Amino acid sequence: MKKRVLGKDLEVSAVGLGCMGMSHAYGPAADKEEMAELLSRAVELGYTFFDTAEVYGTPDNPHDNEELLGKALKPYRDQIVLASKCGIRFNETSDAVNKPLIPDGRPETVKKSVEGSLRRLRTDHLDLYYIHRIDRNIPIEETAGAMKELIEAGKITHWGISEADEATIRRAHAVCPVTAVQNRYSMMYRDYEALFPVLEELQIGFVAFSPLANGFLTAKYNKESKFEKETDYRSAMPQFTPEAIDKNQEMIRYITDMADQKNATPAQLSLAWMMTKKPWIVPIPGTREYGRLLENAQAAEVELTEQEIKDIDQMLDTVPMSEVFGGSKVESK
């Protein structure tokens, strides 16, 4: 697979693998042996960028995903870039399927969390470590200072921020250079395109999570699609309602028709669209299936012209579009 560079020097595969869905938010956790095999095959396909977090798990095993990756990817550790995150916990008193998040950006939390992640991921360092959400009660400079100490100690080599705005990025970057910002981004959620100028200015990479709008842009869902209400976030996402399926038909038809012209799939077109925009954008779609893993990897080979990107953007600006899931609610402590 082609490579891209995040920040000044973190080389990763052009498409990364978001591993959350193997353990969290997309139904019950998948079989570990099957997912270990899938992760091994991902390495064979050229994936070198694997994304997890300390909270990607289940109530019974909150750290399921890091443990899965630690065991499955240990044989390939020197070939890959491992990214994890700290700084949130779920409000377990909520009965929502996508429970509210409680951020914690205290330096002591960051330093304690990295030790657990290193142990579970069976490594002596993380290549990229994010603060998972911004804690408005803690100055970002304090969190950035803790990350700087972890870099100096050799426990991480790069750090990043997830779901951050421009002011926060600038303040954090002034304390310790930020390598990547990981924000929600897809054809259905383009709010953070406003950040592109500052990311270019500061030489910070953009890691796009939910790049297929939680799978909706694969064009494989319809009114008959069913989701486990207790464990699958899609059961509560607005883009998957019957009304949204109808409202989004024109957009899906456009994407499907253009993908056919490119001998690609709608998912590949969606990923190629964002990768063509900037050379420092890296999507991290997730999957539990080898076919999807291969399909997403091959998106790096789909070529779009500048005019085609403009045409797609114009379509997205003008066709009817439903609401799309914008993330779990963030609560203060």
Q: Which residues form the catalytic set?
A: 56
Four-residue CA torsion sign, 301, 217, 23, 295: negative
Extract the runs of DSSP E, i.e. beta strands, from 47-200.
Answer: 49-51, 81-86, 88-90, 101-103, 128-131, 159-162, 180-184
Write out 255-276 in H/E/C secondary structure: HHHHHHHCCCCHHHHHHHHHHH
Output the DSSP codes for 280-306.
TEEE----S-HHHHHHHHHGGG----H
pLDDT band at 91 (very low <50, low <70, confident <90, very high): confident
Q: pLDDT band for position 97 (50/70/90)? A: confident
Parallel/antiparallel/unpaired status of strands 88-90 and 159-162: unpaired
Beta bridge partners of 18: 51
pTM of the model: 0.97
**What mean pLDDT is reported for the chain?**
96
Which pLDDT value is given to residue 230? 85
**280: confidence class by pLDDT, cuts 50, 70, 90:** very high
Q: Which residue has the tokens 């992760």?
A: 39
pLDDT tops 80 at residue 24:
yes
Q: What is the pLDDT of residues 104-114, one digit of tens each?
A: 999 999 999 99
Residue pLDDT, tens place only, 170-223? 999 999 999 999 999 999 999 999 999 999 999 999 999 999 999 999 999 999
Q: How confident is the model at residue 327 (pLDDT cuts 50, 70, 90)?
A: confident
Q: Tell me the DSSP string of 113-153.
A: HHHHHHHHTT-S-BSEEEESS--TTS-HHHHHHHHHHHHHT
What's the rounded mean pLDDT across residues 90-112?
A: 92
User: Which pLDDT value is given to residue 296?
Assistant: 98
Residues near 122 by beta carbon (within 8 Å), at least 6 away in sequence: 70, 71, 74, 77
Residue 333 has pLDDT above 70, yes or no: no
Q: What is the pLDDT of residues 229-263, one digit of tens each?
A: 889 989 999 999 999 999 999 999 999 999 999 99
